[in-house]
Amino acid sequence: MVRLNEKQRRIRDRSDRAIADFLEGTDHAAAEFEDALARFSEQVAVFLVAEATGEQQELDFPDFSVLLEALEDCQLKEDEACELFDAAREEVDEMMGRRYADPTRPGKIPKMSQIPLQFQYVNAGYDKLWKENFGMGHAATMKLVDIVSEDPVIANRRKGAPPQTLVLVWLWRARLYGNGGSVFKTAQWAGISSGAVVAYSRLVVDALCRRTKDFVTYPTPEERLRAAQYQWIKVPVDGWQYGIIMIDGTTVNFDSRPGFDGNSYFDRKFEYSMNLQVVNLPETLRIVDFNVGYTGSANDQSVFKTMPLAKNPEKFLNPKEFILTDSAYSVTKYTLGPYKGRAAEVGINTRANAAISSLRVESEHAIEYLKGRFGSLSGLRMRMTRRRHHREAAKWISACITAHNIAIPFEGHAVILELREEQQAREDALEREQRLRATAPRHNDPDRPPEEIEDATVTTDEGTQFRNMLRDRLIAFEDELEMRVGRTHDGVLRMPRNWLGEDMPWEV
């Protein structure tokens, strides 16, 4: 049934009364009635076109008396009169319900939902197709549906789509980016209106944001122990295994320039974006903390200083634990980053940087894992014309991170291993280059201490002393290992199988 506004309903009622009054006591021929009705509809169409172009003051609405006079010469039975009356009403409803009075314009857009087809994929054993469409497996999706169903706003709704439909529509939209993730494309896929897509997405995002504190939490003692063991396998040197969490910054790009304060969103990569700080574990890549809301022009260190983890690290870290960072962050007692500037060219510092990079590369994997699941974070297609749209974009990113943590336990290590294999070649090449640089002469003396290098970034603060202590332990370990087993032809140390596990401290 076509929806009519108040003016259109009055026009329809006028036509109903005019035709009903005439047909009440008169018999007419159907053919002549239809011809007269067609001419009348043409007159109404001309009137609506003139009204849309602002010329309605020169025309009057078609007089029903013209139609009635044309029908006076007809003869029609009562049953046929009723049928033609209904046909006339439907004709007027369809014409007046259109946005434009164009008889060639098509009516309602035909739609067909693809959601039932997705369940047929799962029933046929093609869970991989489900994961490609929604970014997570069927079991993880159903867990997400259960969590969203428990939200009080969604659970107390009297009518509307079921929570399962809400989640699938949002996942489909969050999975894609650019034009593929537009509201219209999602509406066509789900067989719903564009307004429903926006409403469903808002309900799911709000529900997930209310559960963020339940799923984005700092590691438990068991997780801390597994993370320390995982780091020890990479660098089996006492003290290095306590870098159980790491932080890195990334940007969430927008598809267009924001309509307000657009210059503040312009980042160093020549994109309009929002800054996102991600803190994760090395083994499972689970995100334990994040910060979103600053624009893309903000520096990673400046954003990190506003986080509770930077203000009160002792509340989140156990003794001896520290945070692994890249060169964008400053070195403190609780953060370990690589050497920068000319100090990075010193042989022993280059070897320490290689060890730091091998430990904190999991931060890059975690960000790739997140953006690989939710492609919208690579190109967020959202309206950014008002300040409230900035908050909506931040909530969208928070909801994606919450859903990401919910799905991680259902996937095991298969996806994580696949991500690591994709970058293994690049990492091996980088490590090989760093090892060669470590053995090459620098400043006429590869073992020259960094304190004697001009402009070396070495000070006497606690952070630098802590980094130098870990570096000295690493160099002593590698020198001893080189004496025992030697190096390969490309300069990489051979790691004996029985080396791991010899008096290793596991206290975390």
Q: What is the pLDDT of residue 84?
A: 61
Q: What is the pLDDT of residue 234?
A: 86
| CB neighbour class for 267 (10 Å; exposed up to 12, middle 13-18, buried from 19) | middle
DSSP H or E segment with residue 401: helix 387-407
Q: What is the pLDDT of residue 489?
A: 45
Q: Average pLDDT per run of 10 along the chain, which is 508 residues long?
A: 60 65 54 63 59 49 52 52 64 60 60 86 87 89 93 87 92 87 88 90 94 93 90 88 92 88 89 93 92 91 92 90 90 89 83 88 90 90 86 94 93 60 60 58 43 41 83 83 58 46 45
Angle at 211 between CA 207 and CA 216, to 5 degrees: 135
Q: What is the pLDDT of residue 446?
A: 42
Q: What is the pLDDT of residue 96?
A: 59
Cα–Cα distance measured from residue 16 to residue 84, given in angstroms and rounded to the nearest whole number: 12
Helix axes 127-134, 163-175, angle to 10 degrees: 70
From first CA to last CA, the distance across the chain in angstroms is: 68
Q: What is the pLDDT of residue 281?
A: 93
Q: What is the pLDDT of residue 233?
A: 87
- Cβ count within 10 A of residue 246: 27
Burial code of 212-233, b = ≥16 C-beta within 10 A, e = fewer? beebbeebeeebbebbbbbbbe
DSSP H or E segment with residue 357: helix 347-373
Q: What is the pLDDT of residue 417?
A: 59
Q: What is the pLDDT of residue 500?
A: 44
